[in-house]
Amino acid sequence: MQDILEIIKTRRSIRKFKQESPPEDLIKKCIEAALYAPSSMNSQPWYFVIVKDRTKIKEIAKVQKFTKFLENAPYIIVALADEKRSKHWLEDMGCSLMALLLEAHSLGLGACWGAVYNPDNKDRENYIRQIIDIPENLRIISCIGIGYPDEIPHPKKVKTLEEAIIKII
């Protein structure tokens, strides 16, 4: 069994994917992990769309300049939230997406999310709505490229505990 701290420490954002598509069951396992994330009052505001259609993937990758890497992903998971289910839907989604990313890494997959949600305007969300049919009551949070990694990123540099803990009271 893998140690969860080791999974957390070694997970990286993967933006280059092998052409081989993983089995759809592995993608669904990642979403299943996301379902077990904590949420405010167990509201579970999350929903997901799995995109494997190459034409739609190429269009989704154009949502903003930092999502171009998505065009080579074998799958994109579009993460959605029902903002009426929770006052803390953004925080809930952050927990859910982290669980999804950690499960992907534990399964030997690579993944990276690209932001869609913008608190100041809905242009990117509207762009995605033109590509895939998403009900208006759901906010589009991000698009996650996922597949077998075709890169090995450098180890992540993080603050030391001494730098991060400012007080013990």
Residue 77 has pLDDT above 70, yes or no: yes
DSSP code for 40: G
Residue 153 has pLDDT above 70, yes or no: yes
The predicted pLDDT at position 1 comes to 61
Number of domains the chain contains: 1
Residue 113 lies in a domain: yes
Kindly report, residue by residue over 101-121, the tens digit of the pLDDT.
999 999 999 999 999 999 999
Residue 16 lies in a domain: no
The predicted pLDDT at position 127 comes to 97
pTM: 0.95
Residue 157 lies in a domain: no
Kindly report, residue by residue over 27-56, the tens digit of the pLDDT.
999 999 999 999 999 999 999 999 999 999
Which structural domain, as residue segments, surrounds residue 98? 36-132
Task: Specify the amino acid at residue 103.
Answer: E
CATH number where 43 lies: 3.40.109.10
Residue 63 lies in a domain: yes
Residue 78 lies in a domain: yes
Cβ-based neighbours of 109, under 8 Å, separated by 6 or more = 22, 26, 30, 146, 147, 148, 149
Q: Given CA atoms 145, 70, 8, 141 in this order, what sign does their dihedral have? A: negative
